[in-house]
Structure 1
């Protein structure tokens, strides 16, 4: 019998409005819509760019009143300088977003989506 092999991961991010989240990821970050459970008022959808897929799931407004840490995704990236320049023109960064080398051997930048889910894009420099 062959050993089990982990092939991919599709993280699910909580969002208040799936259509608004789709607009952000498609128009600001260059993702494509992979699927949606409804064309007009989706509650669950997937987006894809290159080799990654992220799922977006609607959560009731009342759930956002709780002080809960939002997910932070670390996305391995090729051509990090080009991606940083692309996103810099899309008005998605906060004032302190920068591309930097870290003490743990990566070059990376981070920002939040419209629902405060963290996105870090990085590449190894060692």
Structure 2
């Protein structure tokens, strides 16, 4: 029997409204819940939760990895809205993944990738 089904990242946010707006307008997520202290966005089968913090050290030192399909198409979508991390261009990695990275409005690093 499998007990573990999937992981849901809970990232730090300096301003929940601003963060949710970034994910919905730039990244194509849909907001399913948010208030001043907590937010949830979803896209396809991925949910990301956010907790309110007051120190930028938390989001600037936090990241998550999202497995995707059609990584090249997703990269083009993200490149068009200008969110690609300066060091996160799409490339084949030596660990057998094709991936890229973005920074969200708070500084959280999100890496997207698929197996080669």
When the two structures are superposed, what TM-score results if normalisation uses the length of structure 1?
A: 0.83
Which sections of structure 1, spanning at least 5 residues, go unmatched?
none
Residue matched to 1:119: 110
CA–CA distance in structure 1, aligned partners of residues 109 and 12 of structure 2: 11
| Bigger CA radius of gyration | 1
Query: How far apart, in 2, do the equivalents of 1:22 and 1:71 lie?
Result: 17
- The Cα RMSD (Å) is 1.8
Instruction: Look up the match of 2:39.
Output: 45
Give the distance between the partners of 1:56 and 1:96, measured in 2 at CA: 24
Match of 2:26 in 1: 28
Say which of 82, 86, 91 aligns to 2:73: 82
User: Shift of the alpha carbon at 1:112?
Assistant: 1.3
Unaligned runs of 5+ in 2: none
SS at match of 1:26: helix
Is the CA contact (8 Å cut-off) linking 2:40 and 2:47 kept in structure 1? yes
Displaced runs of 4+ in structure 1, greater than 6 A? Answer: none
Task: Tell me the TM-score normalized by structure 2.
Answer: 0.90
Q: Distance in 2 between the 1:68 and 1:97 partners?
A: 17
- Once the two structures are TM-superposed, the CA of residue 67 in structure 1 deviates from its matched residue by 7.7
